[in-house]
Copies of this chain bind each other. A is one copy, B any other.
Amino acid sequence: MSDSPQRSSSQARNIKLVVAYDGTRYHGWQRQADGVLTVQGCMEAAAGRILGHPVNIAGAGRTDAGVHATGQVANLHTSNLSIPTLNFRRALNSALPADIAAVSAEEAPPAFHASGSAVAKTYRYRICRRPLKSVMQASHVYHFWPELDAGRMAAAGARLLGEHDFRGFAFAAERRKNSVRTITGCQVSEPDEELHVAVTGDGFLYKMVRNIVGTLIEIGRGRWRPDRIDEILQSRDRGLAGPTAPASGLCLVHVEYPPW
């Protein structure tokens, strides 16, 4: 490695972090040019100060600007960490801004990669239906007042399950060749005066969850029938899907990995 006595005295370690953040202030997870505030950029800077060397922190999901996380997963490699992971997590939380937190830190096997090893991700979308908008939640929900039929939305969501080509739900200019993904869960629930859509899948195209939610809203308010989902999947035509739901309602809540 190098002639640094600290590095040579400790082994290379792969640290898995579960990360929560309020995405409101950030231009998304992914590091960008200098001067653009991103969650990855802030975390790499904070970890770098603690570890004393440049750090690359890989994240499981590239959340967009304004999108939140309670269960983002990231990992970093270091040979410069001689303290227990709990102490590292505490140091990291002190060094991070108040709207980013490391919820947990543990040592992972050398081959673990937050993105490459993930088998499933779950996003939750919050629609707030309170008659008076909740100003303190403005950046964490989508306020939507017209009637929504949750049963109809759940029926539509069930039609997304399985392996499909989701190009019709992707960002129009998406250029990835492979747009086939497998959705294993799409639950609609109504806690308090909110309506939540939780979508689990092995991967998501750019803006796919927000386009799914925007489509479910059109179905829930009665403009389209649930089988519109089949048409969008079969035609792969983005023009048939609903508008992109606002970023504020979206949160990455869980990333699933195989047991070590």
Residue-wise, chain A 7-23 has the 8 Å CB interface mask toward B (1 for contact) of 00000000000001110
Contact B139 A101 (CB under 8 A): no
Known: A98-B143, A139-B99. A93 touches B133 (CB 8 A): yes
Number of copies of this chain that the complex holds: 2
Q: Is A83 an interface residue (CB 8 A)?
A: no
Contact B132 A22 (CB under 8 A): no
User: Whole-angstrom distance between the alpha carbons of A24 and B98 in the complex?
Assistant: 13
User: Whole-angstrom distance between the alpha carbons of A97 and B123 in the complex?
Assistant: 26
Please, which residues of chain B bring their CB within 8 A of the CB of A24? 24
Q: Shortest distance in angstroms between A102's beta carbon and chain B's nearest beta carbon?
A: 9
Q: Is A135 an interface residue (CB 8 A)?
A: yes
Please, which residues of chain B bring their CB within 8 A of the CB of A68? 136
Chain A residues 61 to 89 lying within 8 A of chain B, measured CB to CB, are 68
Contact A98 B132 (CB under 8 A): no
Q: Is A124 an interface residue (CB 8 A)?
A: no
Contact A101 B22 (CB under 8 A): no
Q: Is A140 an interface residue (CB 8 A)?
A: yes
Please, which residues of chain B bring their CB within 8 A of the CB of A93? 132-133
